[in-house]
Copies of this chain bind each other. A is one copy, B any other.
Amino acid sequence: MTASFRIEIRVVPRRGILDPQGKAVADALHSLGFPEVGDVRVGRHVVVETRAADAAEAGRRAAEMCEKLLANPVTEDFEIEQVVPV
């Protein structure tokens, strides 16, 4: 018996690695009237709809997906943000 889950995953560039996109966004925000903005970092947000026996199992499988495919271990960190039953 399995149930449906929506898993929200974030994959972000590891600290210390140049993030030109984050910098471009910060610059653009400054000139758009948001001078208060400091650092910006841009990563990926992945939403996976899946089935699993339970939330724990869904989370485990999601971590495997990240290790195998969704994140590059050389440059990125990932986090399973949430596993939502649907």
Contacts and interface: CB of A to CB of B under 8 A. Distances in A.
Interface of A: 2, 4, 8, 10-12, 22, 25, 28-29, 32, 34, 36-52, 61, 64-65, 68-70, 81
A44 B42 CA distance: 7
Contacts of A44: 42-45
A51 B36 contact: yes
Nearest to A47: B41
Contact of A36 (B2, B28, B37, B46): B2
Contact of A37 (B45, B48, B81): B48
Given A25-B70, A42-B44, A44-B44, A61 B49 contact: no
A28 B61 contact: no
